[in-house]
């Protein structure tokens, strides 16, 4: 029974490759990516009447915004009053409809408006460490639950990161 | 379909080119035409025990020499089982795969081989995710699952490696693979995380490594 010299070379190679494999396998998998929900930029607009009506930014004084049917109706923006021409909100991953309630300061008097959006949710795998997030698509305004003059979704389907643009006419 | 024809055509040209080159060698270059080798991939078994035990795979190989070529058939079973508490999800996939191909020894004669070659590979598998929980601190949680889904994939491989005779009828060797996937069928809702025999389903190409221990069954007693 004769052991060939090349076997020693092979064992050396095995040891080398095995060490590299072990090195990779020992790297702890950590999630450095924050799970991303659907992100929504709401832009407030108004229409200037005339022979040729034009659209322009409108500034609202927002007192609070919360999700309808949320138990604590916690403010999802800053607690302080916010003057805004646009703001970012998140879509609810829990349902295929999200309804926001806006409490707006209208010349010292608070008024409430709502914006309701429907969409399709699809799980999207990120990695073993980070798990899944959701792809949102087919975003649409649910008119019967929306009390603004009108609202329009600029792009109903977007690629990751899920950032939609909705214009609210006020 | 055009891409499939293109890949198959290229693969056939590659296979056809090997025997043409081999014909220029002498008769003594013929290797292992007097026996059949059966082997197992020990790296896949070791990988299960040395890592986090989510990936279980078994692979066997049979090769036989004919003229100046070595014809190879490889087959295996792979199962991926992930259960995570945070973020919460569980995922399972399992399936069979097989590869057929040829190898050409760059050494002249003898029992040892430094080889290159090619494979055509196919995998048939199923995958599912039982509990996916996506939690939002304000809105609450989305809980869903992906029902069992059957899928398949085809790919080609360029391979290279070493096979050496350790002791009588026992051979050791490793094969390094470069895989290019060209067909995937049956995906619904989400893509699988892994294709048995190929690896990461997100990627179109991948590297692989097999470590084999072979036993050679001689056709003749004097070999």
- Give the model confidence (pLDDT) of B7-21 as tens digits: 544 544 444 444 444
pLDDT of residue B15: 44
How far off is chain B from A25, nearest CA to CA, in Å?
6
pLDDT of residue B65: 86
Residue B200 corresponds to which tokens in the numbers above? 């990461």
Least confident of B61-70, B103-112, B201-210: B103-112
pLDDT of residue A11: 65
Chain centre to alpha carbon of residue B180: 12
pLDDT of residue B8: 46
pLDDT of residue B95: 97
Asked if A76's CB is within 8 angstroms of B141's CB, the reply is: no
Least confident of A73-82, B184-193, B196-205: A73-82
Asked if A4's CB is within 8 angstroms of B112's CB, the reply is: yes
Asked if A67's CB is within 8 angstroms of B144's CB, the reply is: no
Of residues A80 and B122, which shows the higher confidence score? B122
Cβ neighbours of A10 in B, within 8 Å: 162, 164, 166, 172-174
Whether the per-residue pLDDT at B211 is higher than 70: the answer is yes
User: What percent of chain B is predicted at pLDDT more than 70?
Assistant: 83
Q: Other C-beta atoms within 10 Å of B138: how many?
A: 15
Q: Does B76 touch chain A (CB under 8 A)?
A: no
Asked if A123's CB is within 8 angstroms of B129's CB, the reply is: yes
Q: Calculate mean pLDDT across residues B156-170.
A: 90
pLDDT of residue B21: 44
Size of interface A-B (CB pairs under 8 A): 107
Cβ neighbours of B138 in A, within 8 Å: 67, 70, 74, 76, 90
How far off is chain B from A3, nearest CA to CA, in Å?
6
B43, B84, B134 member nearest A35 (Cβ): B134
Asked if B209's CB is within 8 angstroms of A6's CB, the reply is: no
Asked if A134's CB is within 8 angstroms of B88's CB, the reply is: no
pLDDT of residue A52: 84
B87, B165, B191 member nearest A35 (Cβ): B87
Cβ neighbors of B25 (< 8 A, separation 6 or more) are B68, B108
Q: Calculate mean pLDDT across residues B151-158.
A: 97
Interface test with A, best of B39, B140, B169 (most A CBs within 10 A): B140
The sheet with strand A60-67 has its strands ordered as A82-84, A60-67, A97-106, A109-127, A131-141
pLDDT of residue B204: 94
Average of per-residue pLDDT values in chain B: 83
Q: pLDDT digits over B43-99, tens only?
A: 888 888 877 778 899 999 999 988 778 999 999 999 999 998 887 899 999 999 999
pLDDT of residue B118: 97
From first to last of the 170 residues of chain A, give the pLDDT tens digit.
Answer: 555 566 666 665 666 566 556 555 555 567 766 655 677 888 888 888 888 888 888 888 877 888 877 655 556 655 556 777 888 888 888 889 999 888 888 888 888 888 999 999 888 888 878 888 888 889 899 888 788 888 888 888 766 566 778 888 87
Cβ neighbours of A119 in B, within 8 Å: none
Long-range contacts of A4-8 (CB under 8 A, 24+ apart): A4/B111, A4/B112, A4/B164, A4/B165, A4/B166, A6/B112, A6/B162, A6/B164, A7/B164, A7/B165, A7/B166, A7/B172
For residues A93 and A124, what is the distance between their CA atoms, to the nearest angstrom?
12
Asked if B174's CB is within 8 angstroms of A14's CB, the reply is: yes
CA dihedral B176, B181, B182, B186 (to 10 degrees): 140
Cβ neighbours of A128 in B, within 8 Å: 54, 82, 84, 193
Q: Does B56 touch chain A (CB under 8 A)?
A: no
pLDDT of residue B122: 97
pLDDT of residue B27: 46
Q: Calculate mean pLDDT across residues B160-187.
A: 90
Whether the per-residue pLDDT at B106 is higher than 50: the answer is yes
Q: Calculate mean pLDDT across residues B128-135.
A: 89
Cβ neighbours of B136 in A, within 8 Å: 37, 90, 92-94
Cα angle B141, B144, B145 (rounded to 5 degrees) comes to: 150
How far off is chain B from A168, nearest CA to CA, in Å?
22
Asked if A2's CB is within 8 angstroms of B189's CB, the reply is: no
Q: Are B182 and B175 in contact (CB under 8 A)?
A: no
Q: Does B84 touch chain A (CB under 8 A)?
A: yes
């Amino acid at each position: 029974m004769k052991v060939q010299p090349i076997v020693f070379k092979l064992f050396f190679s095995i040891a080398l490759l095995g060490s590299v494999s072990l090195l990779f396998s020992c790297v702890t998998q950590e999630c450095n990516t924050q799970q991303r929900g659907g992100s929504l930029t709401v832009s407030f607009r108004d229409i200037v009447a005339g022979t040729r009506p034009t659209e322009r930014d409108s500034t609202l004084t927002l007192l609070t915004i919360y999700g309808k049917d949320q138990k604590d109706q916690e403010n999802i923006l800053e607690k302080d009053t916010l003057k805004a021409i646009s703001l970012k909100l998140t879509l609810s991953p829990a349902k295929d409809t999200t309804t926001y309630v806006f409490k707006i300061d209208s010349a010292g008097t608070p008024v409430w408006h709502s914006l309701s959006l429907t969409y399709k949710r699809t799980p999207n795998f990120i990695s073993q460490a980070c798990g899944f997030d959701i792809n949102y698509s087919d975003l649409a305004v649910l008119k019967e639950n929306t009390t603004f003059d009108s609202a329009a979704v600029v792009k109903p389907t977007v690629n990751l990161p899920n950032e939609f643009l909705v214009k609210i006419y006020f | 379909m055009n891409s499939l024809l293109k890949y198959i055509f290229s693969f056939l040209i590659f296979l056809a080119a090997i025997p043409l080159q081999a014909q220029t060698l002498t008769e003594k270059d013929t290797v292992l035409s007097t026996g059949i080798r059966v082997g197992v991939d020990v790296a896949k078994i070791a990988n299960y025990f040395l890592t986090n035990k989510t990936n279980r795979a078994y692979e066997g190989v049979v090769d036989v020499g004919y003229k100046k070529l070595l014809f190879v058939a490889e087959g295996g079973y792979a199962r991926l089982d992930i259960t995570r508490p945070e973020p919460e999800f569980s995922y399972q996939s399992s399936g069979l795969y097989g590869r057929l191909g040829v190898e050409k020894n760059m050494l002249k004669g003898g029992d040892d081989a430094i080889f290159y070659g090619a494979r055509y590979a196919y995998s048939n598998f199923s995958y599912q995710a039982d509990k996916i929980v996506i939690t939002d601190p304000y809105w609450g949680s989305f809980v869903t699952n992906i029902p069992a889904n059957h899928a398949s994939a085809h790919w080609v491989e360029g391979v290279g490696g070493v096979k050496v005779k350790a002791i009588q009828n026992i051979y050791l060797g490793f094969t390094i693979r470069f895989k290019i996937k060209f067909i995937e069928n049956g995906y619904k809702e989400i893509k699988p995380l892994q294709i048995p025999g190929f690896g990461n389903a997100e990627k179109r190409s991948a590297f692989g490594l097999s470590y084999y221990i072979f036993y050679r069954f001689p056709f003749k007693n004097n070999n």
